[in-house]
Amino acid sequence: MTLHLSIMLWLPLAFGVIGLFAPPRLAGRIALAGTGLALAYAITYVVDYDSGAAGLQYVTDETWIGELGISYKLGIDGLNLLLVALTAILWFACTLWANLREVERSRLFYFHMAFAETAVLGALLAQDLALFTVFFDLMLVPFFFLTGMWGGARRVQATMKLVIYTLVGSLLMLTAAVATGVLAAEGDLPLSFAFSDLAQRPLGESSQQWIFLFFAAAFLVKMPAFPLHGWMPDGYRTMPLPALAVFSGVLSKVAAYGFLRVCLPLFPDASEQFQMLLLLIALASILYGSAMAFTTTEARLILGYSSVAQLGFITLGIFALNEQGAQGALLQAFNHGLVVAPAFFIVALLAARAGGSQDIRDMGGLGMRAPALASLFLIVAFATLAMPGSANFVGEFYILLGVFTEKIVIAIVASAGVVMAAFYTLRLFITAMHNRTGARVETREMTFREGLVLVPLVLLIIAIALYPQFGLKRSEKTVSAVTAPVTEQQNAAEQPERVDALGVAAPEIEAVPAP
């Protein structure tokens, strides 16, 4: 195969740099071409991917900094395939969205957008812990500029808060990553950060513990999860819309992906040990996020807090520490990204019709005059609240199933979150679309240009809802390989009961309804 991952990885950035030297009005078109090509590549990978194989595909493996044991190793497997596709789709959509509008200092804007895409793709594709850390930290740089230069009110404070908050986690992760590599390379082993090498050099239990906690801190801040979400409200309020859509849609998923890629396979003992802690954090995120989403009136924040809750579900699935949970988490990560981005676009359209206000109390009464917009919103809303029949339902079902076999009480409490999601999503939909028409609301239908971005995304949501196996099939093999070290751990720890529980759980995988 000559499908080099490096080409897809660096294409957006290369086009962004070219755009930097092009006339300002062409910069957007050039960036769009870059993300478009990356999207074409991503689609090719999804189609071409061999779902029968568990290992990495399309591997690129070069030495980058030999002295430090860092290799430039990229690869695609079931864990990152869908997220790579999601990244490419959302970036293309957001670049298109920006292209249909006027952007100030457009060359820099598109450069930073393109830079961000490369960084996120890099974090997803990296198969070397150090390389992963590099890209994970790098993701923040363009968003610092995007928020600080094109954001709304109080943008500089918000962007500082965002970067410092999330980088605190990332830097802890840097130490943890270095320690993982150095401590794993005991004796005569050469220093290496490649996941494949690290997986074969298990760490001692005590080092696993603090390293796991450092990684968890980084990922939980990025998500954000409940006690660590302090940067979220300000950041979401002020971020420019195209950046916000990808930030919420993709960056939080990179964190969830990090748990699956790094924590579970490399630190199985610690994952097992801190399972309860992470489950409780996830549960707190679900409850807190839902409650806040139900009470706040700012449309962006409703979506922001609902993301906190959704990411809580994803974390819950991951730390069920079994195959179903992880599968559900992965599917849900893809679904949520695909749903939240159009939701942000719709909210932006609503705000434009409500005299620029983001407050849902200023909206209302749009549904009758703008039926097309309303129906798109309804589909997105149903997907968000995980209506049976949507792919989100399948995802949440898997997650809850996974948790149920592990910790029944948590699964029951978490189920309340599903109900709460219906409350806050429908509240958003009803206040914005029905009710009395707001004072300053202009009731006009979606234009063709606005639909150009929204309609394909919504069609994709429907397509995935009809055929969720599309994703599940591709991730199945890898997920079972990733969760294997932890489940082995559990089996070894509590031999007598576990065999029984697994025996019950196994047939249920087949029993999942295909909608």
The contact set with other proteins (CB under 8 A) reads 65-68, 105, 108, 130, 133-135, 137-138, 141, 144-145, 148-149, 155-156, 159-160, 163-164, 167-168, 171-172, 174-175, 178-179, 181-183, 191
Residues contacting residue 514 through CB under 8 Å, at least 6 positions apart: 468, 469
Q: How much helix, strand and coil, in percent to the nearest 5, is found in the chain?
A: 75, 5, 20
Report, in Å, the least distance between residue 59 CB and other proteins: 21
Q: Which is nearer to other proteins, 68 or 419 (CB)?
A: 68
Phi-psi region of 361 (alpha: psi -120 to 50; beta: other; left: phi over 0): alpha
CB nearer to other proteins: give 181 or 468.
Answer: 181
Nearer to other proteins, 130 or 314 (CB): 130
Question: From the CB of 207, what's the least distance to other proteins, in Å?
Answer: 9
Q: CB-wise, 195 or 393, nearer to other proteins?
A: 195
User: 65: which 2 tokens?
Assistant: 């900094």
Which residue, chain included where needed, has tokens 């270095």? 178
Sign, CA dihedral 219-225-230-234, equals positive
- Taking the CA atoms of residue 197, residue 198, residue 204 and residue 205 in that order, the dihedral angle to the nearest 10 degrees is -140
Closest approach, Cβ 122 to other proteins, in A, equals 10
- CB-based contacts of 193-198 (< 8 A; 24+ apart in sequence): 193/69, 193/70, 193/71, 193/128, 193/129, 193/130, 193/131, 194/61, 194/71, 194/73, 194/127, 194/128, 194/129, 195/127, 195/128, 195/129, 195/261, 195/262, 195/265, 195/266, 196/127, 198/129, 198/266
Are the beta carbons of 49 and 81 closer than 8 angstroms?
yes
Cβ closest to other proteins, residue 148 vs residue 468? 148
**Do residues 35 and 110 lie in contact, with contact meaning Cβ atoms separated by under 8 Å?**
no
CB of 257 to other proteins, least distance (A): 18
Q: What angle do CA 75, 81, 84 make, to 5 degrees?
A: 95
Say how far apart CA 397 and CA 402 lie, in whole Å.
8
CB of 445 to other proteins, least distance (A): 37
Q: For residues 320 and 271, what is the distance between their CA atoms, to the nearest angstrom? A: 10
By three-state DSSP, how is residue 355 classified? coil
Minimum CB distance to other proteins smaller for 214 or for 393: 214
Question: Whole-number minimum distance, CB 136 to other proteins, in Å?
Answer: 8
Q: How far is the CB of 163 from other proteins (least distance, A)?
A: 6
Pair 37, 118: CB distance under 8 Å: no
Nearer to other proteins, 8 or 172 (CB): 172
CA dist 56 and 127 (Å) reads 9
Are the CB atoms for 211 and 263 separated by under 8 Å? no
DSSP 213: H
Return the residue matching tokens 């092009």: 22
Q: What does the angle CA 324 – CA 325 – CA 326 come to, to the nearest 5 degrees?
A: 95
Give the residue with the Cβ less far from other proteins, 148 or 325.
148
* Minimum distance of other proteins from residue 181's CB (angstroms): 8
Shortest reach from residue 210's CB to other proteins, in Å:
9
Output 126 or 380, the one with its CB closest to other proteins: 126
What is the maximal distance between C-alpha atoms in the chain? 74
The nearer residue to other proteins, 83 or 108, going by C-beta atoms, is 108
CB of 133 to other proteins, least distance (A): 7
How near is the Cβ of 123 to other proteins at its closest, in Å? 11
Look up residue 168 and give its two tokens.
């605190």
Smallest distance from other proteins to CB 175, Å: 5
* Contact in structure between 227 and 281 (CB atoms under 8 Å): yes
Q: Which is nearer to other proteins, 219 or 288 (CB)?
A: 219
Is the Cβ of residue 145 or residue 247 nearer to other proteins in the bound state?
145
Quote the least distance from Cβ 70 to other proteins, whole Å. 8
Q: Is 406 helix (H, G, I), strand (E, B) or coil?
A: helix
Q: How far is CA 126 from CA 88, 117, 136, 151, 483, in A?
A: 16, 14, 10, 30, 19
Q: Residue 196: which of 73, 17, 60 has the closest Cα?
A: 73
Q: Measured from the CB atom, is 68 or 492 closer to other proteins?
A: 68
